[in-house]
Structure 1
Amino acid sequence: MTLRRDEIIVDSAHPYQKVDPEEYQKEITFTIKFSGAGKQTPENIIKTKHLQRKVLFSLVLNKIVENNTYPTEWKTVKKDFTDKIQVPVPVVKGYHSNLSQIETENITNSKSEIKVSYIRNNKIIPIDEDGKLIPTKEALYLATDPDDPTKLCTKQIIPQIPGYKSNYKIITLSNSNKDIKVIYKKIAADSKESQSDVYTASSTNDQIAIVNFIDLDHEGKQITSSGPLIGKPNENITDLYSTSIPIAGLEKAGYHVIFNNFDGNNKIQKFDGNDLTTQVFTVGLSKNSEQNMQLQQLKSSVNELIGQNSNNLSNPVVANLMNVLKS
């Protein structure tokens, strides 16, 4: 399109003193409201969007004019990592949501509200071999898919019940709209399984491990997880899973790794031979840049002290400092 010299295009990159900036740039706020998960319901999220467009100003008429091209539609401007077109819905333990993410591209009015509701997951119903209900301290709700809050995990880890044992470690969901009955066998009073709190037998059964990613700024709320990792005793768990890809995504979302007890510092984890207990590893993350800076400063100080005592690595103090650095 060719413009006459008495008309100019005005936008954030090409302002003009006679055009109010609000004509071509603005900020709007909208609220994401969560409900349905009781005390676990996430707090409402208030987001700010930066919008821009182009307008046409007539130097002859001394005002903004319209044609088939101008003004252009309002578009989202990404000024930093918080300006996201898609806002992920948090995963809440024991619940699934009606939305997996909030699409913000078409939100152009201030004070808009998007409602996200959570629905209780169905349950695992533990029964004995006679079909009688086994009482538990709390309901055994099915696990939500850590990568999609609208779905349940396809493979569910069977929960442990004191005094009972199931023949299954994992079940595959065929219909997530129904409660699932799982048969447990009562462990005999004289059984070695009932006499030991820790099972250390060298089992050849499949083992289960899981890596949880938690938000240290929100009392350790789970952000995501690896899902069940399955293998044989003494096999390397770190051959099955790496935290590098999920951490890269979380870092783009503003998180910093505070600790990683799975594969941080090139650790190698193995299945421990206990097929009764799931091995749980944790990666702690924070968006608190000040906390992360303090941690880095601490590690820098520890490195400096170790360097000053490099000729005396047998010193207990130096050994302890090295352990701090590795943690």
Structure 2
Amino acid sequence: MNKFTSIFGKNIKAVVKYVDLDNDGEVLESTKKFEGKPKTQVEYDPSDEIAKYLNQGYVLERDGFDENPIFEEDVDEYVISFKHKHLVKEYEQKKIKQLVHYQGAASRTPEDSTTEIEFVHNQEIDAVDNHVIKDLGWKPKEQSFMIIGTPTLPGFVPDLIEAGGETVTAEDKDKEYTVNFTVNNKPSTSEQSAVVKFVDLSDQNKVIFQKNLTGQPNMQIEYDPEAEIKRLEDEGYSLVKNGFNDNGDIQFYGNADGYQPVFIITMKYSAVAVDAKHPNDAVDPDIYSKESKLTVKFVGVDDAPKDKVQTIHWNRTVTLLPSTKKVIESGRYDSDWKADKQYQDVKVPQIEDYHADMEVVKAPELSQDDQVITVSYAKNEAVKEAKAEPVHENESYTDDDSITDQPVAKQTEITKVVSDLEQNSTVKEQVAIINFIDVDNDGNSITSSGILNGKPGESINDLYSTENPLKIIARAGYHVVFNNFDKKGTVQRFNDNALMPQVFTIGVSKKAKGTDVLDKDATKKEIEKIKNDLAVSKEANPDYSKTMMDLTNVVSSLYDLVSKSE
């Protein structure tokens, strides 16, 4: 017996397993079995083993041992699971060259201009076994060469004032251009022009700004682009090449009509997009990411339900200039705030003996500000569980059933129930009554559904149907004048007002209506048949039920009603 073992009770045995989830749950290794008493600490430290697997290219998915390092009666193993780390690996490179060749100016011919761009082919690999998970293709997908402005040579005219600058992919071949110079046989004395173009290499050499200049033939061009370069740098660009006065170069106007020298200053948009998926240490996350919450609070009752909180994540993209580590206002990558989802309606929990001031909290409109909605509970008033007369609550009917037509006091059953509600004991359910009244006899009650009980929102129609009572009433010579319970396409439901029962009234009358005539002979025959059948049933069954006795009394009362109407 080891140190975990006590002389009392049964020991628990368990192991720690290291599992590779990316290899169908393969068990990398298992420890020896540990043994100890329930709820005692398992004396084992997996740190060294976890570090070993991390060095092999795994990433820890879940440390089931750290979550519960004690002996449990229903736990016989602790699982520490890993997945394989994914790495991006450079598979191959490819360089494409741009060559601009100059000729025709003898010893004054400029040297060729050669530039190159590079593409990288990447693959996503498994860090554990190095197999290729996904081919990521060439990066970037495409890029542009710089435009090369043709140098000015006094006494010569080129056939191209600029060359190159095409946008290519890794599948393209090297690009070559030839610029031919010819002697200027028609020197001009007219005013000459020149252009300095600022282009964005990262946007297919789109012209950002252009400066048009004029001056005398063969004279120095008096222009300094420094201020414009500084302005563009403040907007997120960086200088790639100054093709006008780099290294103190001096440029001159030409002296041939129709020839306009072009000087290219190449810029590149170096600002970067920063957002939740692309964070940057130089940018406070609060600038591009925030949360707003909807909190539904419940008050008015002890042990109220816990607050229901919904969290919305708001995100946007901002533009950062790495050289200055400042966020640029109205930058190229800026976007508006967007929410990751919408708020949802919240169903209010029901609490026995209490009702809330709302059944559902409707989702408010989205706002970046936190919102709080409070639901208040109030205790239900006392309600007495009263028996209804003369019809039992869930009594079923057939066409042969009948109703009483006994004299009814002016204080109807509804008044009685309201009085009971104000006085007596607590009832957990709501109350509803369907009352049948005689509109020819001062609205006196003929019969009712009795007290129907149910919880707020439950269907009253599932507890009671007026179909059979109305058939019996019709056979007694009545017709319906109004009915506020049976509404087409409507399901009547219990409300949450504990202070007053729901009352549905059906008014009936014996006064003539069209061709509605009571067939008294048929009614008496049916009633006599029912009474005979009940008499036989009573003799056959000494334990005659109270329900059958009540039904006999109802049938007899209806028979008397019909007899009096003759």
What TM-score bracket applies, with the shorter chain setting the length?
Answer: 0.3 to 0.5
Structure 2 length-normalised TM: 0.23
Indicate the structure whose relative CO is greater, using CA pairs within 8 Å and at least 6 residues apart: 1
Larger Rg: 2
More strand, by proportion: 2
Structure 1 length-normalised TM: 0.36
